[in-house]
A and B are shown apart, each in its own frame.
Chain A
Amino acid sequence: SQQGEEDPQALSIQEGENATMNCSYKTSINNLQWYRQNSGRGLVHLILIRSNEREKHSGRLRVTLDTSKKSSSLLITASRAADTASYFCATDETSYDKVIFGPGTSLSVIP
């Protein structure tokens, strides 16, 4: 079963612009996490937001969570070429002891 679904599938922006990616999920969750993956490598954890939190910041990253809409967004401000990567949301479901990933958003930041 696929819990998280990212939107858009691919995003291309100019360096310096903001990038917004969205994630929707289907069931109740304990927390939602965002990860980054550079081409052909393992994933790196970016940020975790709990179900009782609405917004969280980490450097140029801002994550929001709306549990009523079962959705989250990841905003990367002032993007850089080095931000080019795939971004995944992952949900820790309350009903199951497992972390489920969405298909990801591929972000290209053009210098």
Chain B
Amino acid sequence: DVKVTQSSRYLVKRTGEKVFLECVQDMDHENMFWYRQDPGLGLRLIYFSYDVKMKEKGDIPEGYSVSREKKERFSLILESASTNQTSMYLCASSLSRTGGNEKLFFGSGTQLSVL
């Protein structure tokens, strides 16, 4: 089975800190995604990437950046963490965009608290 690993299950940071959330997938998937999940709002797409060194903005990219230097790793960066970025962050990957391979595989999530 595909494994998507997020580096931390729980993370507590202070306002203004730079925060790195790491995600690694082990099945050579082309596509990787970062979502945040908040109660009542469902999952909202922050950034996604369809290839190494490629990134596209999702619906809520403000305050975030991403890095994909290697195919298996997709990092989410909070340049200066703020309290409104307290949330569950979910990373996902998919094999490709076509041919029945579009289904997403999710990591277990990182619950980030910004104090």
Contact = CB atoms under 8 A, between A and B. Distances in A.
Interface string B40-61: 1111110010100000101100
Interface residues of A, number: 24
Interface in B28-82: 33, 35, 40-45, 48, 50, 56, 58-59
Given A97-B97, A98-B58, A100-B45, A44 B102 contact: no
Given A43-B90, A43-B104, A48-B103, A99 B45 contact: yes
Interface string B100-113: 10111111110100
A40 B97 CA distance: 27
Interface string A1-31: 1100000000000000000000000000011
A97 B103 contact: no
Contact of A103 (B41, B90, B92): B41
Given A1-B59, A41-B109, A43-B90, A99 B42 contact: no
Interface residues of B, number: 29
B97 A42 contact: no
Contacts of B50: 97
Contacts of A2: 42, 44
B33 A99 contact: yes
Interface in A59-95: 88, 90, 92
Given A31-B102, A41-B108, A42-B107, A101 B43 contact: yes
B93 to A, nearest CB: 11
A19 B98 CA distance: 30
Query: Which 5 A/B pairs are nearest by Cβ-Cβ distance?
Result: A42-B106, A103-B42, A101-B43, A45-B103, A43-B106
Given A42-B90, A101-B45, 4 more contacts: A42-B92, A42-B108, A103-B40, A104-B42
